[in-house]
Amino acid sequence: MASNVGDAPEGARVSRKRFATGWTTFAACLMIFGGSMAVFQGIGAIVNDDRYVVTGNYVYKFDVTGWGWIHLILGLVIVLAGFMIFNGAVWARTVGVIAAGLSMIANFLWLPYYPFWSIVLIAIDVFVIWALTAGTHRETA
């Protein structure tokens, strides 16, 4: 029986590398869910931009259809990266962190249009970034 990580059989090491920990797996699920929400948000803004009402005068005011395309593209990237994390792709973790960061910025700027939805997606993106950067394994003594 292997006493530490370095003594593990070759097949066990490969198996551990291919699968992420529970938090990373949960982050991938949240990426798929949050990315899907962003895709629906983008489709809604593209198809019917009169549906969204600006709640006040803000320094930044953008065209809702343009924001719809931004959310649609970011959402698709996040969903694809989420699926690739399940396959163990290291590049998907990097893409996920970058896309979640961009999604946080986009949703912050989307606050005047749909505040509750934006706050929920910002919270999901914060957790995704934490889970993807926290590491994939724990060392035991």
Taking only the tens place, the pLDDT of each residue in 52-95 is 655 566 656 667 788 889 889 999 999 999 999 888 888 888 99
How far apart CA 69 and CA 76 sit, in angstroms, is 11
How far apart CA 41 and CA 67 sit, in angstroms, is 9
pTM value > 0.85: no
Question: Residue 5: inside a domain, yes or no?
Answer: no
Question: Residue 46: inside a domain, yes or no?
Answer: yes
Question: Residue 129: inside a domain, yes or no?
Answer: yes
User: Is residue 123 very low, low, confident or very high in pLDDT (cuts 50, 70, 90)?
Assistant: very high
Question: Residue 1: inside a domain, yes or no?
Answer: no
DSSP assignment of 54-71, as one string? --S--S----HHHHHHHH
Q: What is the CB neighbour count within 10 angstroms for residue 68?
A: 20
Give residue 131's domain range: 38-52+60-141
Give the pLDDT confidence of 32-46 residue by residue, as tens digits: 998 898 899 889 888
The rounded percent of the chain whose pLDDT value lies above 70 is 71
Question: Residue 134: inside a domain, yes or no?
Answer: yes
CA distances in angstroms from 57 to 15, 79, 113, 122, 136, listed in the order given: 54, 33, 11, 22, 44
